[in-house]
């Protein structure tokens, strides 16, 4: 038995993605889209068709999509223009580590970086925010706690030519992200969070003047060098097609599984706390503090029983340091190190949740006893 409850790290390939990639390989779609010969033109046609479909899903123009290697590159590109100037920047301490490292780089290069305060609930406080920012970088959904954030109020903190960037990596596919109606000027997406292939990401932008390339070249309208990852781009198109068809039905099913899991968990295991339980959250995420145990030991014990869960961001796994997100929320080091994230997805059924619930109490008890 091997049950995977770590969709926020990477969502397994959707069935339509698997079928679409196999079909593309059988049809020989794999030439360089920049080549002028017949196979290159065929590849280019498939690439641009996928770009149009993806643009429709996110309500933007095809020309507003820049394909990248993933979320971290998209974030780096979004920050690049403001990392080596005397910019005035606003972000938060609960952002993805890639954003925080970009903020540190900007500070080293002479930019002013202000950081929002975080309440113990996980909600953001704008008490530290000023006005006339050149760049604001905030996430729509936290990858660890699953908490959702309304970024609209922060638009008023921008200067006349200010730019707002939204890290929508964890929110994409789980919340409505109609780019044309949102307050963001830049938005990052990652394919593997949608059930597409890893190694493909996007930066959606309102105007190309907001972007300063980090890899200069002729591809992607001069905004990024390197041969496009055609199969990766196609996989995003296929994943979004499946999401469109499954839509509300899939969301409701996953939400019900998550809610049932939390309800039963509170009845079967004592001394636990669900982070942000009363706040807007991603419908698939349950972040739980198990008091009186070491989270890493619990992750290992669950893994030995065939259950894959995590303590938080996959980018930080393998470290013994507590989550910077939880520390920013005011949790003690001990509490932060006793917290686990369960993230559910498109391939889960009720029997999967029941198997986890049937095993979890005994495993928690065993780890608590040491």
Measured distance CA(219)–CA(333) in Å, rounded? 46
Helix (H, G, I), strand (E, B) or coil at 264: helix
Phi, psi dihedral angles at 295 (to 5 degrees)? -60, -40
Query: Is residue 288 within 8 Å of residue 299, measured between CB atoms?
Result: no
d(CA 340, CA 58): 31
Q: Is 17 helix (H, G, I), strand (E, B) or coil?
A: helix
- CA gyration radius, the chain: 21
Angle (CA) 173 174 178, round 5°: 65
Q: Are strands 112-115 and 88-91 parallel, antiparallel or unpaired?
A: parallel
Task: Report how far apart the first and last C-alpha atoms of the chain are (Å, whole number).
Answer: 25
Contact 231, 50 (CB under 8 A): no
Does the annotation count 72 as an active-site position?
no
Q: Name residues whose C-beta falls within 8 Å of residue 18's C-beta, 6 or more positions apart in sequence.
A: none
124: which strand partners? Answer: 118
Catalytic residues: 315
């Amino acid at each position: 038995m091997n049950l995977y409850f770590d969709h926020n790290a990477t969502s397994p390939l959707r069935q339509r993605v698997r079928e679409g990639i196999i079909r593309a390989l059988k049809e020989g779609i794999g030439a360089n889209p920049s080549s002028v010969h017949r196979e290159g033109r065929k590849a280019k046609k498939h690439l641009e068709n996928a770009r149009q479909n993806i643009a429709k899903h996110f309500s933007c123009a095809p020309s507003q999509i820049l394909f990248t290697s993933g979320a971290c590159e998209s974030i780096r590109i979004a920050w690049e223009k403001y990392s080596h100037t005397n910019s005035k920047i606003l972000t938060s301490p609960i952002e993805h580590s890639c954003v925080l490292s970009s903020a540190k780089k900007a500070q080293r290069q002479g930019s002013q970086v202000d950081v929002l305060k975080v309440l113990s609930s996980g909600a953001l406080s704008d008490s530290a925010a000023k006005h006339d920012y050149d760049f604001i970088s905030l996430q729509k959904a936290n990858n660890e706690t699953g908490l959702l954030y309304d970024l609209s109020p922060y638009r008023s903190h921008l200067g006349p030519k200010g730019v707002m960037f939204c890290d929508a990596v964890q929110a994409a596919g789980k919340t409505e992200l109609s780019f044309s109606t949102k307050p963001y000027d830049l938005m990052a997406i990652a394919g593997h969070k949608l059930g597409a292939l890893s190694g493909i990401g996007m930066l959606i932008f309102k105007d190309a003047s907001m972007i300063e390339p980090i890899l200069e070249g002729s591809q992607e309208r001069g905004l990024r060098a390197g041969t496009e990852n055609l199969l990766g781009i196609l996989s995003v198109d296929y994943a979004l097609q499946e999401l469109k068809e499954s839509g509300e039905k899939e969301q409701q099913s996953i939400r019900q599984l998550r809610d049932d899991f939390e309800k039963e968990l509170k009845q079967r295991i004592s001394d636990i706390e669900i982070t942000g339980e009363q706040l807007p959250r991603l419908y698939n995420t349950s972040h739980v503090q198990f008091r009186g145990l070491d989270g890493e030991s619990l992750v290992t014990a669950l893994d030995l029983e065939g259950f894959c869960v995590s303590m938080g961001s996959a980018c930080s796994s393998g470290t013994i340091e507590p989550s910077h997100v939880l520390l920013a929320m005011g949790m003690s080091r001990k509490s932060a190190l006793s917290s686990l994230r369960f993230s559910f997805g498109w391939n889960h059924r009720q029997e999967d949740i029941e198997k986890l619930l049937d095993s979890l109490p005994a495993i928690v008890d065993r780890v608590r006893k040491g």
